[in-house]
């Protein structure tokens, strides 16, 4: 039985029900925040996931950047360090995750389907392994694009649906095909690209992780 099932008191026979509500997802990640091994508060800045986010965002000093589904703010910390004059906002549905966000990074509680920022208020928005938890992916993409200003940059790193089953994940998680997510972003953005990525520069991507980049 998975963590969410235990939190909600579900039995094996009761799992075939509707996707969890935002409050149920929040409960899942509030509990998961205790697990530093699987939900760490730091990340090695040499990892390509970090480097590609920073490269795509460019110089965002003096501008606002949102980390959508930030967890404990491990990416937000590095974005802020690379752009000390920027305003980086860590957004997460779980308040227990936000308690770990480091000083210098702003915090805002909210879901990916109702981001708590004003329309066109951000120069950059990124989501790293968080969109898969949004349940309503179309709405989450629309929200990410809503808070991005014209000309602003968007980056999403997540898992390829062709590799579903490699990990023990909640049944409600959604992984995406490369062209599938490109299509969703193209509804809102004028330039969209994607490619497989690995963790380390010397490794050949095995197809598990993809990065989608867009300009609104």
Residue 211: CATH number of its domain: 3.40.50.150
pLDDT at 172: 87
Q: Which of 214, 156, 213, 212 is nearest to 188 (CA)?
A: 214
* pLDDT higher than 80, residue 17: no
pLDDT at 61: 98
For the chain, what percent of residues have pLDDT higher than 90?
87
Q: Which helix (H) or strand (E) holds 23?
A: helix 22-32
CA angle 45, 106, 50 (to 5 degrees): 15
* pLDDT higher than 50, residue 76: yes
> CA dist 133 to 22, 85, 86, Å?
10, 31, 27
Domains: count for the chain: 1
What gap in Å lies between CA 95 and CA 38, rounded to an integer? 17
8 Å CB contact between 116 and 172: no
What gap in Å lies between CA 1 and CA 170, rounded to an integer? 10
pTM here is 0.91
What average pLDDT score do residues 118-144 get?
97
For the chain, what percent of residues have pLDDT higher than 70?
92
pLDDT at 188: 98
| Domain residue limits at 156 | 3-215
Residue 52, number of CB atoms within 10 A of its CB: 18
* pLDDT higher than 80, residue 83: yes
Q: Which of 113, 175, 173 is nearest to 142 (CA)?
A: 113
Range with the lowest mean pLDDT among 6-10, 75-79, 190-194?
A: 6-10
């Amino acid at each position: 039985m998975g963590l969410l099932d235990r939190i909600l008191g579900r039995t094996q026979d009761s799992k075939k029900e509707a996707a969890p509500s935002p409050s149920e997802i929040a409960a899942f990640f509030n509990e998961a925040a205790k697990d530093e091994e699987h939900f760490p508060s730091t990340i090695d800045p040499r990892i390509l996931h970090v480097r590609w986010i920073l490269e795509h965002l460019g110089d965002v000093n003096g501008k606002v950047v949102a980390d959508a589904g930030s967890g404990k703010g491990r990416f937000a910390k590095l974005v802020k360090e690379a752009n000390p004059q920027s305003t980086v906002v860590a957004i997460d549905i779980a308040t227990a995750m936000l308690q770990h966000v480091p000083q210098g990074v702003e915090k805002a509680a909210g879901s990916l389907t109702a981001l708590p920022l004003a329309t066109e208020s951000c120069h950059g928005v990124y989501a790293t392994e968080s969109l898969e938890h949004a349940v309503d992916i179309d709405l989450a993409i629309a929200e990410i694009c809503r808070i991005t200003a014209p000309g602003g940059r968007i980056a999403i790193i997540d898992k390829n649906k062709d590799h579903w089953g490699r990990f023990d994940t909640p049944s409600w998680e959604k992984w995406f095909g490369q062209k599938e997510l490109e299509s969703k972003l193209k509804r809102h953005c004028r330039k969209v690209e994607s490619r497989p990525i690995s963790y380390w520069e010397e490794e050949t991507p095995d197809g598990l992780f993809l990065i989608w980049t867009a300009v609104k």
